[in-house]
Structure 1
Amino acid sequence: MKYQYAVIGLGRFGSSLSRELIKLGYEVLGIDKDEAAVDAMEDELTHAVVADSTDDEVLKSLGVRNFDCAVVAIGDDIQASILTAIVLKDLGVKKVVAKALSELHGKVLNKLGVDRIIFPERDMGIRVAHQLVSPNLLDYIELSKDYTIAELSVPKHLCGFSIQQLDPRAKYGCSVVAINKKGGIIIAPSAADVVNENDVMVIIGTNEQVEKFELEVVD
């Protein structure tokens, strides 16, 4: 059976997430209390229903407890978001992911045992800021408060260098986990693999390690 997702809240974030999950080949049940939002998505999703997600009997009748993951994507009602998360946890949904509107909202969701908390606006702001100050940084994702994964474009002065010559693990403590080349992606590159101009290196390490490698080697 295909992995099944329930996305609760079909605003900008929830509808975008739902469309991408469908595009990736998964089954998606969309839920929103707004009939217009459901009507706009019903032809794109596996199922879309108008429902009050804070009502445990309603979610139980929709079989949400049997889904592999439920995403609380409610965009403007913190109370409804929190109550929905409580209902999902009480129903025993395998994995509950929720969008947080603020740090305080995130702390409450964490106390409720939500498996993953997403801060779309904050995280996007952090990524854009890093891209603005570093021309070679293509993407930046904070894995935790200490660890980062970053995509760095290889500049001209590093063309022809092997991973062994760059030696990021010994010199900086971070690792090159992939190289995206025109001909394809090299996963877990060997010491002998060479980077060329405009290749993309995927680096993982602590925030400080990645930043130091970026400033001292790439820039």
Structure 2
Amino acid sequence: MKKLYGVIGLGRFGGSVCLELAREGFEVLALDRDEDRVNEFKDIATHAVIGDSMDEQTLIDLGFKNIDHVIVAIGDNVHASILTTLILEELGIKRITVKAQNDYHEKILNKIGADHVVHPERDMGKRIAHSIVSSNILDYIELSDEYSVVEVKVGSKMNDKTIQELDVRARFGCNIVAIKRGKDVNVSPMADEILKLGDILIVIGSDKDISRFEKKLVIEE
């Protein structure tokens, strides 16, 4: 089954995450108290709803109990961020990612059940969205509006296969420019190089091609 994502707070950060997840083809339930923000995303998210995330019954009624991963991207209201995270934890959400305002806020979020805390001033929404989709996507760096470099961990789909067998360049238009294995880095690896679980690949390509590569070979079912 396709994963379901929830995004609470549709400001610059939350909106960026919502947009990227939607672009990647995932179902997204977006929630914000501001009607104008919700209207901006009604044709982007699967469902965009006006509501108060500090009201537990509202989250239950909207079906948040069925969401696999919720991103709490509430703006400057630290109280709302903390209370929302607590409610989601009590609802048994599998994974909760929360935007922190500062280091103290992060400490509190870690203590009350956040699985992953991010600082938007250090992490772009697009970069975080890719790491949310799969734990095998370790980093995502934009080179331009259309091209990026992604750092991915070899999982079961690529294990024990050579670069030639995977034929990443022909199938997806991407290039594997390096392989990191432990402390060793192999730049411009040969076609007969056999990939092993845990190897880290540095892949470069257009955003569209990288997205196809991730869906086929990186994201585990």
TM-score, length-scaled by structure 1: 0.60
Q: 1:103 to 1:36 in 2, by over 3 A?
A: same
Counterpart secondary structure, 2:81: helix
User: Per-residue deviation at 1:62?
Assistant: 0.6
Give the letter for the 1:52 counterpart: D
Q: Within 1, Cα distance between the matches of 2:119 and 2:79? A: 17
* Structure 2 residue 49 is matched with structure 1 residue 49: yes
Query: What is the Cα-based RMSD across aligned positions, in Å?
Result: 3.3
TM-score, length-scaled by structure 2: 0.59
* Structure 2 residue 115 is matched with structure 1 residue 115: yes
Contact 1:179 1:189 in 2 (8 A): no
Contact 2:149 2:202 in 1 (8 A): no
User: Per-residue deviation at 1:45?
Assistant: 1.0
Contact 2:150 2:202 in 1 (8 A): no
Give the aligned length.
151
Aligned counterpart, 2:144: none
- Which ranges in structure 1 are unaligned for 5 or more consecutive residues? 132-137, 142-162, 192-200, 204-219
- Which ranges in structure 2 are unaligned for 5 or more consecutive residues? 128-140, 142-147, 152-177, 196-200, 204-221
User: Per-residue deviation at 1:27?
Assistant: 0.2
Contact 1:29 1:46 in 2 (8 A): yes
User: Per-residue deviation at 1:15?
Assistant: 0.9
Q: 1:53 to 1:121 in 2, by over 3 A?
A: same
Q: 1:174 to 1:104 in 2, by over 3 A?
A: farther
Looking at secondary structure, tell me which structure has more helix per residue: 1
Structure 1 segments of 4 or more deviating over 3 A?
Answer: 138-141, 167-170, 178-181, 188-191
Q: 1:94-140 CA distances to partner (integer Å, 9 max, x unpaired)?
A: 1111111111111110001211111121346xx9xxx9xxxxxx979
Q: Within 2, Cα distance between the matches of 1:112 and 1:34? A: 26
Counterpart secondary structure, 1:122: coil
